[in-house]
Structure 1
Amino acid sequence: MASSLDAEAAAGQEDKAGSGYTTAATAHQVDTDSWQQVGVLLVVGFNCAYVLSFSNLMMAPLGWGWGITCLLLIGAAAWYANWLLAGLHVIDGQRFIRYRDLMGFVFGRKMYYITWFLQFITLLLGNMGFILLGGRALKAIHAEFSSSHTPARLQWFIAATGFIYFAFAYFVPTISAMRNWLATSAALTVAYDVALLAILIKDGKSHKQKKDYSVHGTQAEKVFGAFGAVAAILVCNTSGLLPEIQSTLRKPVVSNMRRALLLQYTAGAAVYYGISVAGYWAYGAAVSEYLPSQLSGPSWATVLINATAFLQSIVSQHLFTVPIHEALDTQMQRLEEGMFSRYNLGRRLVARGLVFGGNAFVTALFPFMGDFVNLFGSFVLFPLTFMFPSMVVLKRDDACVY
């Protein structure tokens, strides 16, 4: 597969009319969205059941003191790192719509491929986590209506989730095309958060069981758990694909992206941090890795929470998989034709089928891999979030737009 660097070498760039900068060729839309749209997309994207079930991963291994401290410090550090990266979107009159293009421009072809590999692994693992979440939500809904004493296998629900994610990614192919789904996703997010928080407060006030907030395990287990908690907190705060999201913004791209980030790290973080802390408060160290499975609410509330978790995850997972789709679409489709031409529809069917078919298959084979996905994915996120932007600033401090 040819790289974006090869496309640039072949003069595969276009000058956006009136923009004053050049942009690499892409099958997806660039320079079309407002900062409000992108800000809402970030808020609903990170406020998904996948992230909101992290009480078990973030708080339980650290306890109250260290848990709250790490939430605040890592959130602030991720905000600043992404704020810095947003200022690197345009260098020498060229707009970098892909993270790997930026690193390749500054450091050469080797860094281009390293960045793309790290992004690719992060996004694939994240998508597996979403598929696993969706499968669990569907299974929980099925259990409420089933009279069978033999529970259905999780793998069937994972396969169904993969197919539904595939269909959404096929008919809503780009980040900009998600604008028509933001209101629905926001409504689902609010419904999920309100219902979940109400039952968490009810369970937290219950005196049926004594809550234990101590950190358990051997010293080695505590250290490993603490590293895992820090990694999970990082996953909640950054995506590793900021330039790809920023590429959809209209000018001025730097200040608009920073406005969107402000919305994410204030309104958005207040919700997903608040739910995570509430889950730990309600259940203590015994909090579940999938929060809805631990709720004591009535059957209708369980169905509502799992249904909204599943439906909202359809939009969230798409945001974090789009860079892979964009790479495949740009290579496989005819760029001079529209996204919904007969030729491009056929090519997109193959591309989306490969991504979601492979991810659903691996997730069904290893449905217990949730903790590994979170831990490994977050370690890959560390250089993408903190190291690479600093490297670019040190190399080209004239490129950072303040």
Structure 2
Amino acid sequence: MPDPPKEDPFLENHHDEADAGAAFVLQSKVLDHCETSGRRHIRFRELAADVLGSGLMFYFVIFIQTAINTGIGVGAILLAGECLQIIYSSISPNGSLQLYEFIAMVTVVMIVLSQLPTFHSLRHINFFSLLLSLGYTILVVAACIHAGKSKNAPPRDYSLEPKSSTRVFNAFTAISIIAAIYGNGILPEIQATLAPPATTGKMVKGLTMCYAVIFVTFYSAAISGYWVFGNKANSNILKSLLPDEGPALAPTWVLGLGVIFVLLQLFAIGLVYSQVAYEIMEKKSADVKQGLFSKRNLIPRLILRTIYMSFCGFMAAMLPFFGDINAVVGAIGFIPLDFVLPMLLYNITFKPSKTSLTYWINISIMVIFTGAGIMGAFSSIRKLVLDANKFKLFSNDVVD
């Protein structure tokens, strides 16, 4: 007789008593409806460790995930603070408030919102974030077209950097940023658990929708911004539309609404990507035997999440490198986690024939993106070092 199927250790009534991170932070009201035959992973690091049979891989993935989530947390707070600064500067051009003060304001709001205890509790915020993203894209594209056709349209320079070595470094930095953008596709893995059962078909639909939204939003804004401003386009295109000198290049109400949309969406982004850090912390700090809102679990959650968000806010204020942060996170985080490790796990788990097309496609992706990741890490860190000469600690301007 075959061995009976193992019970799913991650269902609500079968959590490891010490694993409060899965029981609380990753809580979902529909997990009891998922299949119970065999072990079902809800955390990528456990899947990687089981398939590769290495405890070191568990900690390697934790390191990568921590780098990704902390980097995005810092970047989200930084850009949100910059959005507040843009609004303030338009209302009070000679105001005395500095960028780090706006970052502090954003950090306080993030600390309050971070007390939402579970990923499931963010579902309405995430949907609202999707609408904001689409709305922002429409506004930015319309504003760029208006600016490009107006009499005040800026001169456009589409020329490349004169030095070939600089072009190479910039190319790999761009690859790292693109990897960070498309790395957001890992979220449908979590979203798939919200509609039982989590099947391959639903995952494909989720990924298709995710990449379609990313393509429409990111690329439409990038292409329209580059069309208007060429290689002088700011990483925050709203700053290009609101030049330091001369009139705004789009209607004030459009730009103001766009800034508000970005600001609100950044709160959602920061909250979503902080969940992995919270799950790691609360795996040991919380007691699964006691209630989610019990004094025993509430106080450590309040303290740890406040410390984490305060750290992200402090780093954002001290090192305002928005574009560079994106590139570093993409190179050392998203590239290995999204483009290398999944191919390796697939080949080991399903063991496709070494003469099959699938096997060699996976190997090719691993080799190409490993090289791209190494070069991207080198080039993005190089740019970070070069940009370090352009600012002081707690600078009032974001370095692109």
Whether TM exceeds 0.5 here: the answer is: yes
C-alpha spacing 1:15/1:142, structure 2 compared with 1 (3 Å) = closer
- Kept in 1: contact 2:100–2:317 (CA 8 A): yes
Out of 4, 24, 28, the residue aligned to residue 27 of structure 1 is 24
In structure 2, C-alpha distance between the alignment counterparts of 1:190 and 1:386, rounded to whole Å: 26
Are positions 1:101 and 2:72 aligned together?
Answer: no
Which residue of structure 2 lines up, in the alignment, with residue 231 of structure 1? 176
- The structure that has the greater radius of gyration is 2
Alignment partner of 1:152: what SS? coil
More deviation, 349-358/289-298: 289-298
Which residue of structure 2 lines up, in the alignment, with residue 370 of structure 1? 322
Gaps of 5+ in 1: 1-10, 35-88
C-alpha spacing 1:191/1:353, structure 2 compared with 1 (3 Å) = same
Following superposition, the deviation at residue 281 of structure 1 comes to 1.1
Which residue of structure 2 lines up, in the alignment, with residue 85 of structure 1? none
| TM-score normalised per structure 2 | 0.74
1:85-96 equivalences under 5 Å are 93-96=38-41
C-alpha spacing 1:334/1:12, structure 2 compared with 1 (3 Å) = farther
Out of 126, 143, 146, the residue aligned to residue 199 of structure 1 is 143
Which residue of structure 1 lines up, in the alignment, with residue 158 of structure 2? 213
C-alpha spacing 1:324/1:229, structure 2 compared with 1 (3 Å) = same
Q: What is the number of residues matched between the two proteins? A: 329
Are positions 1:13 and 2:19 aligned together?
Answer: no
In structure 2, C-alpha distance between the alignment counterparts of 1:109 and 1:231, rounded to whole Å: 28
In structure 1, C-alpha distance between the alignment counterparts of 2:108 and 2:195, rounded to whole Å: 30
More deviation, 342-351/185-194: 185-194
Which residue of structure 2 lines up, in the alignment, with residue 265 of structure 1? 211
In structure 2, C-alpha distance between the alignment counterparts of 1:201 and 1:394, rounded to whole Å: 47
RMSD of aligned Cα (Å)? 3.0
- Kept in 2: contact 1:241–1:323 (CA 8 A): no
Out of 295, 299, 315, the residue aligned to residue 346 of structure 1 is 299
More deviation, 299-308/320-329: 299-308
In structure 1, C-alpha distance between the alignment counterparts of 2:229 and 2:340, rounded to whole Å: 36
Are positions 1:280 and 2:226 aligned together?
Answer: yes
In structure 1, C-alpha distance between the alignment counterparts of 2:240 and 2:196, rounded to whole Å: 43
In structure 1, C-alpha distance between the alignment counterparts of 2:121 and 2:315, rounded to whole Å: 28
Following superposition, the deviation at residue 133 of structure 1 comes to 0.5
**CA deviation map 1:265-286 (0-9, x unaligned):** 1244222211111111121111
Out of 373, 379, 391, the residue aligned to residue 331 of structure 2 is 379
**CA deviation map 1:121-156 (0-9, x unaligned):** 111111111111001000011111115x25521101
- Kept in 2: contact 1:143–1:151 (CA 8 A): no
Which residue of structure 1 lines up, in the alignment, with residue 396 of structure 2? none
In structure 1, C-alpha distance between the alignment counterparts of 2:348 and 2:8, rounded to whole Å: 26
Which residue of structure 2 lines up, in the alignment, with residue 129 of structure 1? 75
Read off the aligned partner of 1:329 and give its amino acid letter: E
Following superposition, the deviation at residue 98 of structure 1 comes to 0.9
Are positions 1:303 and 2:256 aligned together?
Answer: yes
Following superposition, the deviation at residue 32 of structure 1 comes to 4.0
Are positions 1:158 and 2:103 aligned together?
Answer: yes
- Kept in 1: contact 2:23–2:288 (CA 8 A): yes
Following superposition, the deviation at residue 244 of structure 1 comes to 4.8
Following superposition, the deviation at residue 218 of structure 1 comes to 1.4
Following superposition, the deviation at residue 245 of structure 1 comes to 5.1
**CA deviation map 1:34-56 (0-9, x unaligned):** 9xxxxxxxxxxxxxxxxxxxxxx
In structure 1, C-alpha distance between the alignment counterparts of 2:181 and 2:302, rounded to whole Å: 31
Which residue of structure 1 lines up, in the alignment, with residue 309 of structure 2? 356
C-alpha spacing 1:257/1:271, structure 2 compared with 1 (3 Å) = same
Which residue of structure 1 lines up, in the alignment, with residue 344 of structure 2? 391
In structure 2, C-alpha distance between the alignment counterparts of 1:285 and 1:91, rounded to whole Å: 54
Read off the aligned partner of 2:326 and give its amino acid letter: N
Which residue of structure 2 lines up, in the alignment, with residue 175 of structure 1? 119
Read off the aligned partner of 1:13 and give its amino acid letter: P
Gaps of 5+ in 2: 1-6, 242-248, 353-357, 359-400
**CA deviation map 1:203-246 (0-9, x unaligned):** 12235433121212411111111111111111111138555555
In structure 1, C-alpha distance between the alignment counterparts of 2:350 and 2:341, rounded to whole Å: 13
| TM-score normalised per structure 1 | 0.74
**CA deviation map 1:90-131 (0-9, x unaligned):** 998111111111111122101111111011111111111111
Alignment partner of 1:289: what SS? coil
In structure 2, C-alpha distance between the alignment counterparts of 1:313 and 1:297, rounded to whole Å: 23
C-alpha spacing 1:249/1:30, structure 2 compared with 1 (3 Å) = farther
C-alpha spacing 1:135/1:90, structure 2 compared with 1 (3 Å) = farther
Higher RCO (CA < 8 A, seq sep 6+): 1
Please identify runs of 4+ aligned residues in structure 1 that moved more than 6 A: 89-92
